[in-house]
A and B are shown apart, each in its own frame.
Chain A
Amino acid sequence: MFLSALGTSLRPLVWLLLLTLFVFLTFGFALNTGSIEIGWENLWQILAGNGEGIEQQLVMELRLPRALSAFATGGLLALAGALLQVLLRNPLADPYVLGVSGGAAVAALLAMLAGITGWWFSASAFVGALFTVLLVFGLAHGRGSWSDTRLLLVGVIVASGWGALITFILATAPEQDLRGMLFWLMGDLSNAGKPLPALLVLAAGVMFVVPVARSLNVMARGELQAAALGVEVGRLRLAIYVSASLFTATAVTLAGSVGFIGLVVPHLLRLLLGNDHRLLLPAAVLLGGGLLVLADTLARTIIAPQQLPVGVLTALLGVPVFLYLLQRSR
């Protein structure tokens, strides 16, 4: 009896430690690699505050902020994906399924057309995302009741509406803006130099969702069942919807719509670790974040000096891994 209790409580810790180690390795890789190789020993000195010159600048002012942005984006997307899968009780849900990224994209592309840059560009993407959150919620809410199917349907329809607008903007935009737009749509971290707000949202998010994780386990079995087992379903559902949308909006604002992470990281972990959200949610943050740091480092080095949109790399890395795991789990 003692052993079984120990077994259930130790396993998650071991997994989280392994994933944390993975995150540290990806950061080491990201800070080391690029036009100038730093070397582990040198890197250690710089991080300890003893660095100097161009290498110090390179690591502290370019690579570290970018890696932190990548981590925050990946963590937020994986967390949002895992939450939406429970909310919609559909393992195929991803952070973009309810149209949040579409709204952000339309606003961002319009801002690019208007020549807006910097802080105001981020703000307009964020407003576009929040507008979609309110629109979808308002429409799905209708007269009193909102079922998960209704929410999903409204979200998918609104998302495809945004999709059409995006295509319209791309078709009519001047040639010189197109490349920037496509990069943004694929997800791109080359302009993501201010990770702090996203990291704060991520930290607050983790602190909010981990305590309700067991309630999410119950919610995954159906809302009536959850209510019968003591979950305040209405309140929890609203909280998940708002927080998942906020996480997505923050990530999209920072890096554009990076595909794949939000769908596949939670899924991969469901295959590996099972569906206990107390372990799954923090694990998703670590794996999603680490994976995006890794993918972004590859995206900026593979065909250097040219950079790839990171979304391409996440898909190229993730698809084979995911298919392999799916095959094995049969």
Chain B
Amino acid sequence: MNPLLKISHLDVVAGDKTLCRNLSIEVLPGQRWGILGPNGVGKTTLLHTLAGLSTPGSGTVLLDGCAVTDLPRRQVAQRVGVLFQEQSDPFPATVMEAALIGRHPHLGRWQWESGRDIQLVREQLALLGLESFSGRQVSTLSGGERQRLAIATLLAQQAELLLLDEPINHLDVNHQINVLELLTGTSCQGRTAVMMVLHDINLAARYCDHLLLLFSGGEAVHGRAEEILDQEVLGRLYQHPMMILDGPHGPVYLPA
């Protein structure tokens, strides 16, 4: 299978600072990557670099064989969707209008959203429990509801690669599980690949088949989740000793 995203010898930089060195990964369709690491280590900047929104210090990110920074943005957006940590909306909009934005890369210059686009967006809103919200103003939503709206918008984009920065931020447990099931469910169908920054080690272990651990020194460890996760590496990652318990979905990691 051809890799969807091929990362070779990538240095991620923010300003003058190199955050992550010499990273080489191939992301295949259907894979679910979790990105773990302490605050400020460059998880967000890495996601932006992979989406072509920041330029790498060195190395390349290839989307189906083309450097992602060289491709027209529209072409990238038809294949790669990004969920940002924060959404801003200085101008009022309804939930439906906000979510329809996800269809932008698929519409021609003079095209308006069709009934099919609206139907598609309605389905995504329903998947996130927002079906009765479509006429509501975005400004009246709670933090968790906004987060779910952002995810519905992203799903409406129907990208093959989803890059998500803390997708379960602000969400209650039931919605956390629902969102992760949705995201990994789409990737289970074999076409979509997901890379998400997570803070919850146990949810990452449960929902991701691959993990990328970013250490403060710029070192990166990656591989199949069950092969690289252990007490020692997590302790080193977060600079805090960890312990393991046996749980229903496999080992549970807790701060000691």
Residue of A nearest to B116 (CB): A1
A224-B53, A229-B77 are known contacts. Are A270 and B115 too (CB-CB below 8 A)? Answer: no
Residues of chain A within 8 A (CB-CB) of B105 are: 229-230
Q: Is B118 an interface residue (CB 8 A)?
A: yes
Q: How far is the CA of A218 from the CA of B73 in the complex (A)?
A: 13
Within 8 A of A (CB), among B88-115: 88-94, 97-98, 101-102, 104-105, 107, 109-110, 112-115
Seed contacts A5-B114, A274-B97; 8 additional CB < 8 Å A-B pairs? A1-B115, A5-B118, A217-B101, A218-B101, A221-B88, A230-B73, A230-B75, A232-B74
> How does the 8 Å CB contact mask read for A1-36 relative to B, with 1 for contact and 0 for none?
110110011000000000000000000000000000
Residue of A nearest to B104 (CB): A229
Cβ-Cβ contact count across A and B, 8 Å cutoff: 88
| B76 with A230: CB separation less than 8 A | yes
Q: How far is the CA of A215 from the CA of B114 in the complex (A)?
A: 17
| A275 with B74: CB separation less than 8 A | no
Min Cβ gap B158→A in Å is 12
Q: How far is the CA of A230 from the CA of B101 in the complex (A)?
A: 11
Residue of B nearest to A217 (CB): B101
Q: Is A114 an interface residue (CB 8 A)?
A: no
Within 8 A of B (CB), among A226-263: 227-233
A211-B110, A221-B87, A225-B84 are known contacts. Are A4 and B104 too (CB-CB below 8 A)? Answer: no
Min Cβ gap B13→A in Å is 14
| A278 with B101: CB separation less than 8 A | no
- By a beta-carbon cutoff of 8 Å, the part of chain A in contact with chain B is 1-2, 4-5, 8-9, 85, 89-91, 211, 214-215, 217-218, 220-222, 224-225, 227-233, 270, 274-276, 278
Min Cβ gap A282→B in Å is 14
| A229 with B84: CB separation less than 8 A | no
Q: Which of B48, B51, B94, B118 contacts A8 (CB 8 A)?
A: B118
Residue of B nearest to A88 (CB): B90
Residues of chain A within 8 A (CB-CB) of B109 are: 211, 214
Q: Which of B84, B107, B115 contacts A4 (CB 8 A)?
A: B115
Residues of chain B within 8 A (CB-CB) of A228 are: 51, 53, 77, 80-82, 84
Q: Which of A9, A221, A228, A274 has the most CB of B within 10 A?
A: A228
Min Cβ gap B72→A in Å is 7
- By a beta-carbon cutoff of 8 Å, the part of chain B in contact with chain A is 48, 51, 53, 72-78, 80-82, 84, 87-94, 97-98, 101-102, 104-105, 107, 109-110, 112-115, 118-119, 157
Residue of B nearest to A228 (CB): B82
Residues of chain A within 8 A (CB-CB) of B157 are: 229
Q: Which of B97, B114, B118 contacts A276 (CB 8 A)?
A: B97
| B112 with A8: CB separation less than 8 A | yes
Q: How far is the CA of A221 from the CA of B114 in the complex (A)?
A: 21
Residue of B nearest to A6 (CB): B115
| A8 with B53: CB separation less than 8 A | no
Q: How far is the CA of A274 from the CA of B88 in the complex (A)?
A: 17
A-B contact pairs, 14 of them (CB 8 A): A1-B115, A4-B115, A91-B90, A211-B109, A214-B104, A214-B107, A221-B88, A221-B101, A229-B102, A229-B105, A230-B78, A274-B92, A274-B93, A275-B97
Residues of chain B within 8 A (CB-CB) of A275 are: 91-93, 97
| A218 with B104: CB separation less than 8 A | yes
Residue of A nearest to B105 (CB): A230
- 7 closest A-B pairs by beta carbon, nearest first, are A230-B77, A5-B115, A230-B74, A230-B105, A228-B82, A275-B91, A1-B115
Q: How far is the CA of A221 from the CA of B157 in the complex (A)?
A: 15
Q: How far is the CA of A264 from the CA of B153 in the complex (A)?
A: 31
Q: How far is the CA of A38 from the CA of B226 in the complex (A)?
A: 88
Q: Which of A9, A85, A225 contacts B112 (CB 8 A)?
A: A9
| A230 with B104: CB separation less than 8 A | yes
Q: How far is the CA of A91 from the CA of B89 in the complex (A)?
A: 11
Q: How far is the CA of A230 from the CA of B52 in the complex (A)?
A: 11
Residue of B nearest to A92 (CB): B90
